[in-house]
Amino acid sequence: MVFLQYLIPQHLLSKCMHRFARIEIVWLKNTFLRWFVKKYGVNLAEAEREKIEDYCHINDFFTRSLKSSARVVESAEIVSPVDGVVSQAGGIRSSQILQAKGHHYSVQQLLADKSSIQFENGQFATIYLSPKDYHRIHMPFDGKLKSMTYIPGDLFSVNQKTAESVDGLFARNERLVCYFETAFGEVAFILVGAIMVGSMEVVWQGKITPPYTKSIKEYEYSDKSIKLVKGEEMGRFNMGSTVILLLPENASKMDLIESQSVRMGQAVV
């Protein structure tokens, strides 16, 4: 039940999952993964390593790579960065983002009070990754990295039931905000942490969590030339979580609807 998430030690449980997911006891790892694959219907046929015995620990499985033929990065200006389900998508008006029916939160809250004027009259997309999904995150467009902000917070679940119950969920949870300069202006690409998500990492900085901190961390890259092309891996989750895209007004309109399933590389415009 959702109210129990207010009571449980969210960060402690996530630390325990982080450790558990890296245990290399063969029988334990294999037993858990057999159960997990059956329980969630994981499609191992598309993975580079199809046998669970070939993974050294549980996190190795969760962050598995796919065969090169498993996903096609389409030629559209913007593609889905992940495999997942669209929680919500739409326009940004008066700095408000729709979280779920009856629940809105502000862009300023999401960005920890940073300026959000560049996203006014723009658009957003929130995509949920379930535990069974491919957990690597890819660039939805070409972009040059400008900066990144780690924002500490809660670790509520990010599934639909919780999104419909916890006010400002995505602006309350721990998150990593990556700012990119693109052909259509500055965008924010946000990785949202969640309960049992053992870590978030990005290719240019490595693992960000754990450890969990209580203060905001700023990373500046304007003096570096970190450029990523559409479809290139930019980060990964352990277990599953949520990504949010904030786009400026002059970006192509994303054609996404609530509860739509998407796959990495799929055109969304």
The per-residue pLDDT string of the chain (269 residues; one tens digit each, 9 = 90 and over) reads 666 766 666 667 767 777 887 889 999 999 999 999 999 999 999 999 999 999 999 989 989 999 999 999 999 999 999 999 999 999 999 999 998 877 889 999 999 988 788 999 999 999 999 888 999 999 999 999 999 999 998 887 777 777 777 788 889 999 999 999 999 999 999 999 887 665 789 999 998 877 777 899 999 999 999 999 999 999 998 766 899 999 999 999 999 999 999 999 999 99
Give me the sign of the Cα torsion angle 227, 82, 154, 196: negative
Active site residues: 83, 138, 241
Chain segment 162-185, per-residue pLDDT in tens? 777 778 888 999 999 999 999 999
Question: Which residue bears the tokens 């479809």?
Answer: 231
Domain ranges of the chain: 2-62, 84-262
Task: Write b or e for each residue in 179-216: b if 16 or more Cβ atoms lie within 10 A of its Cβ, otherwise e.
Answer: bbebebeebbbbbbbbbbbbbbbbbebeebbeebeeee
